[in-house]
Structure 1
Amino acid sequence: MNNIQQQLVRQMRSFLAFKKEHETAIAENALLVKMATDIENIESSISDLLGQQDRNSKALTQEKSSKINDLIELTVKICEVLNSYGNYMNFTVFTTIEGCTKTELSRCRDAEVLVRAENVVDIIEENPTQVSEATLSAEDISALKAAIAAAQAVMDIPQNFRKSQHDITVKLEDGLERYRNIMNNSLKDYMRSKYQQSNPDLYSAFALAVDVDAIPKRRKALVGTILDEKGAPVRKVRVSVDGSKPVIRGGKKGGFNFQNLTPGEHQLTFSRKSYQSVTVNILIVPDKTATLDVVLNTIKVEEAVPVE
C-alpha cells in the first residue's frame, strides 16, 4: 500500500476505536449504527486481504530460499565427488571447478548460484567417461538438473503470484474507496449536523478520531517570486539549497516553491545567466509556510568606447 492508503487504514481503525468507546451513544442511532457497521465490515475485509498479501510474499520468499539451499547442497555434493576423482586421477577439469564450495556458493547471489550449478552440468555432459569413472550416478545428475529447474522457477515471481497480488491490490483499493466515500460523503457531514450542537463531546471525540490520522494536505515550506529589478518575472532560475545540486525554479510569473524543506535555517542561492547571483538565508518554521521574494539584477555590459 502507498502512504495515502496506509493513512486511510489508520483513520478507519481510529474511527472503530471511537465506535467501541462510544458504543452506547452510537447504538441509539440506527443510521449511525449502519454506517459504522459498514466500515467495520470493510476494515475486516481489508485486514484479511493484507494478511493474505503478507502470507503470499513470505511463502514465496521461503520457497525461493529453500530451492536455492537445495541447489547449493547438491552442487557441493557433486563437486566433491568430481574433485576427489580429479585429484586421484590428475584430471584437472574436475579439480579446477571454480566457486562451488559451500562457503563460496552461500555468499553468492541466487542468480550466480544458478550460473555456477549450470556450469557444473556442462562439465558433466562434456566429460561422460570421467563422470562414470568417478561413480557419479545418473540419479545425482538428474537431481542436480531438477534442482536447477526448481530454483529457476522461483527466481522470478511466478505469473500466478503476480496475478494473486494484483487481485488483492484491486480489492484493497475498492474497499478503501468505499470507506472513503462513506466517511467523506456521508459520515462526517452526518455527525456534524446531528451532534455538533446536541452532543458536542461525542462530536469532538469523533472529529479527533478521524482527523488525527486523516490524510494531511501537503504544506509548502517556502513560496515566493523571482523578479528582476524592473519587477518582471524571471523564469528558469537555478536554485541551490544549502549547497546541493541546483534545481530549476521560476514559472511564467516568476513564482517558486519548495515543499520538503526541513525546519531550521537554510541558505538558498539563485542564479541565472545574465543575472547577478543572490544568496539568501531563510528560517523554516514547522507547520508554517515561509515567504521569500527575490530580486535578480541584470548584469550590465559596459558599452565599448571607440578608440580615436
Structure 2
Amino acid sequence: MKDLVEFGEQNQTKLGEDTTFTQVMTTIKGIKTEFDNLIPMLGIKSKSETEEKQMSRKNLEKICFNLSGLLVSYGNLKSVEIFRNITGYTMTNLQRVPSEQVLLNAQKLQGICADNAGEATLAGIDEEAGTALSAAIADFDQKINDPQEFRIQHRELRKGIDQKLEQYNDLLNNVLKLYVRSKYAESDAALYQDFLSSIEISGSMVRTRAIQGIFTDAVNGKPIRRVRVSIDGQKPQVKGGEKGGYFITNLSPGMHEIAFSRSAYVTVVKKLVILPDQPIVLDVAFTPVQIEEASMS
C-alpha cells in the first residue's frame, strides 16, 4: 500500500486530474491510515502475560503446599479431623490439575482456615501467612484469564487487519489495476510500468523468520516438542525443540492458514496475516484429547 500511495503522490502532475484514479486512491489512503493504526498494536506480546500467570500459579501452589502441610501435620498430632482429611495439596497434584482447579483448591483451603481460625493459628498459620494466601489467590484470580483475554483481543485485531487487506485487494484487483491498464498501458507505458512496480511484492519481502513461539500443554504448562506444522495445506514439517520453542521461516506476506498437530492433543488451526516488517510471536497451547472429549460429553 505504501508504494502505491507514493506512486500516486509522485505522479500527481499526470494523475491529479484523473477523477477515477483520484477517487480510488482517496479510498485506498483511508484504508492505509486505518491499517497503519492497527499494525503497531500487533507489537503487544502474549508471552509476558503467560509468564506472569505461570509465576502467579507457582507462588499459589507453593503457599497451598506449605500451609496444607502445617494443617495436616497438626491435625494428625492433635486429632483434628478436618485438618487430617485435607488432601490434594501435594506439589504433584497441584501441578497436574488445570489452573481453575488450583484456584478452587486454594479458596477451599482459605475457607478451612477461616472456619477454624483458632486451630489454624495453633497449627502455625499466623495472620501473615493468611494474608499471603489471600493475596496469592487474588493475584492468580486476576491473572488466570489475562492470556485468554489477550488472545481474544488479538484475534479481533487480526480480523480488523484482514478486513482492511480484503478491501484493499478488492479495490486494487477489481478496480484500479483494470482501470490503469486500460487507460495508460498504451498511452503512457512508462507510467504504467511504474504503477506495476508499485504494487509488486518484492522477493526481499519474504521473511527469514516470520513466526516464532513456544508449544505448551494447556493443562500443566509443560513444553511440547515434535509438533507437526502444516502451512496452507502443504506437507507437515516437524517443529519444536526440547523447551518447546519453534520458528517458521520464509513465509511470503499475506494470509496463511497454519495447522499445528500432535498425537494425544487437539489440533490447533490459526489464520494469520504475515507482514514484511512485523514478526509474529505465536505461543500455541495444546489441549489433551481426553479433556476436550470430556468437555463435549
Q: Sort the TM-score into its range (normalised by shorter chain).
A: 0.3 to 0.5
**What TM-score, normalized by structure 1, do the two folds share?**
0.46
Task: Find the structure with the greater CA-based Rg.
Answer: 1
**What TM-score, normalized by structure 2, do the two folds share?**
0.48
